[in-house]
Each structure stands twice: as structure tokens, then as C-alpha cells.
Amino acid sequence: MPGDQVLIRRPLLTLRQRDNIAGYLFVLPWLIQFVVLIAGAMIFSFVISLQETDLLTGFEWVGLENYRNVFKDAFFWKSLRVTAYYTFLVVPLGVALALTIALILNQKVALLSFWRLVYYLPSVVAGVAVAILWSWVLNPRFGLLNAGLRAIGIQNPPRWLYSQTWAVPGFIMMGLWGAGGAMLLYLAGLQGIPTPLYEAAEIDGANRWHRFWRITIPMLTPTIFFNMLMSIIGSWQVFTQAYIMTGGGPNNATLTMVLYLYRKGFEHLRFGYASALAWLLFFIILVFTMMIVRSSQSWVYYEGELKK
């Protein structure tokens, strides 16, 4: 009988082999993504960066010429300064603001869910609509911000997006308006700190100040670290604001790196040059990521490492 034979026959594959096959079938979507759209594209991106090409009419091999030209390009250095300036202000200020709100909200305030909603809603709306809103908020004559500044007695408020000095600070304010996302993360982190820690410290005579610096902050460092890393990576890639609100102006005061890359590639059709810019951006982000990760060993506290 055929049924009996099936029972006797040993399985074609061992359990381990079957798991290997199943595993690869499950991760197949990511494998395709990685091989074609990430690794393949990266290699190709590097090859393009060694060419002069508009992608349509042809490719001309120029070796490292694009990279050499980038370093001689005043616009590149300008975009690097603009983006660095933005990142180094918006990231620490964002961490400080989000942490402050989270700490206040963690003090058993009434109407917690109302406050939380008000603070985090601006962070979920992003993109073009917000950029348009803020380009009006920052309008020197009719804008909300200057109306507010005049109302508190500032006679000559900055011209924001029309001023080389104040355009990036305008972007930073818009960025801080979205601090609510990080605030949620910190709030969750604060609520995860076990209360016995505080009770023990109180018995040992630690005052509020000590409890804050010796318990709250150390216990929160993993969250701060994660959030800082993500926002540094994101800030280096700032694009939509610059594209919509200022187009990089005035006088390139808001020419961010990705805006410059976009312009070189998709407007001037110099895709080789743009690819070289992309690789330099990647390199910069990599350096900062490594620095943060390195530094984390001295300031990020993980519970599991206590007894080392």
C-alpha cells in the first residue's frame, strides 16, 4: 500500500536542512532588497561616481575627477557648513527640549493625555504641508512668529528666511516644533525606570537633585543615545524644508547637502558628480555615527553591564 511506504520512508531532508530552507524563504524579500536595491545599487553608485554622465546619452570614465572637483567646489563646502550648523544645533536642542517636556509630564500632571497629544501632534505631520505652513509662519511681514515677537515688544524682528543669518535658525525652530516624537520616547523611558530604585535612594538620603542625576539620567541614557543617533542621521539628510521654503537661498544660506546633491543630479543632470556627493555624505554620516557609538561606551549606561 502506498500509505505504508510513506510511513516507512525517511524524510528527504533533515530538520536542520528544512529550517535552512524555510529561513531563507522567509528572509527572501529582504535578501532581494539587499542584493539588488542596496548592495547592487551601492556598487553601481560608486561606479557612476567615477563617470561623467547624464544617464541618457552616455557615460564617460573620469576616475576620481568628480571627487577632486567636489573638494574644490565652494558650494560643496558651503552646503557642508550649512548642514553641520543645522545638525549641531537642532540635535542637542531637540534632545533638551524633548527631555524637558517629558520630565515635566512625568511629574504626575493632570490631563496627561491632553498635553501629550498637543506636544506630539506636530511631530507626526511632516513634509510639504508643514514646510508651506512654516514658510508663512516665518514670513517677516505677515508671519505668525514676527507677529508674536512684535506683540512682546521686539520692534525689528529678524527677517528669517530672507536673511542669511536667520534662515537656518528658522529651520531649527521648525525642527524643534517636531520634538514631540522624541518626547514620547523619553516619556516611555522615564516610566520604565523601576520605582524601587528611587525608594532605595531616598532611604539612603539622596535628595531630588541627586536622584535626577544619579538615577533618572543614567537610566535614560540608552533612550537618549538611540534617539540622538537617529536624529543625527536624519538631520544630515535635511531636504524638504530647503527645497520648498527657500530653494537653498538667500545666497545659499540654506543650501543643504542633499539639496545640493539633488540639484547637481536631477536639475543639472550631472549624476556622476551627484553620486560623488552622496558618497561623501555617507562618509560624513558614518564618521559621526561611529563617534557617537564610540563615545556611548563612556556615557550610556546599560543595566546588564553593572557587574563588569
Sites for other proteins among residues 211-240 (CB under 8 A): 222-223, 226, 233, 236-237, 239-240
Among 5, 57, 113, 155, the residue binding other proteins under the rule CB under 8 A is: 113
Examine residue 189 and tell whether it contacts other proteins (CB under 8 A). Answer: yes
Q: Does 75 bind other proteins (CB under 8 A)?
A: no
Find the binding residues for other proteins in span 77-106 (CB under 8 A).
Answer: 101, 104-105
| Contact track, other proteins, 128-147, x by CB under 8 A | xxx-xxx-xx---xx-x--x
**Sign for the pseudo-dihedral over CA of 295, 296, 299, 304:** negative
Radius of gyration of the chain (CA): 26
Window 143-182: residues binding other proteins (CB under 8 A): 144, 147, 150-151, 177, 180
Query: Whole-number minimum distance, CB 196 to other proteins, in Å?
Result: 18
- For the CB of residue 53, give the shortest distance to other proteins in the complex, in Å: 9
User: Is residue 158 classed as helix, strand or coil in its secondary structure?
Assistant: coil
Residue with cell 525689528: 156
Please state the closest distance from residue 38 (CB atom) to other proteins, in A: 6
Q: Are 275 and 165 in contact (CB under 8 A)?
A: no
Closest by CA to 161, choosing from 179, 142, 180, is: 142
Distance CA(211)–CA(197), nearest Å, equals 9
Straight-line distance from the first to the last Cα atom of the chain, in angstroms, rounded to the nearest whole number: 64
What nine digits make up the cell of 145?
512668529
Residue 178 has phi, psi (to 5 degrees) of -95, 20
CA–CA distance, 261 with 281 (Å, rounded to integer): 9
Q: Quick one: which of 202, 266, 291, 299 contacts other proteins (CB under 8 A)? A: 266
From residue 190 to residue 209, the character string flagging contacts with other proteins as x (rule: CB under 8 A) and all else as - is -xx-----------------
CB nearer to other proteins: pick between 32 and 200:
32
Distance (Å, whole) CA 115 – CA 102: 10
Q: Is 287 in the site for other proteins (CB under 8 A)?
A: no
CA gap 277, 284 in Å, rounded: 11
Work out how close the CB of 258 gets to other proteins at its nearest, in angstroms, rounded to a whole number: 6
Q: Which is nearer to other proteins, 53 or 252 (CB)?
A: 53
The yes or no reply on residue 51 touching other proteins (CB under 8 A) is no
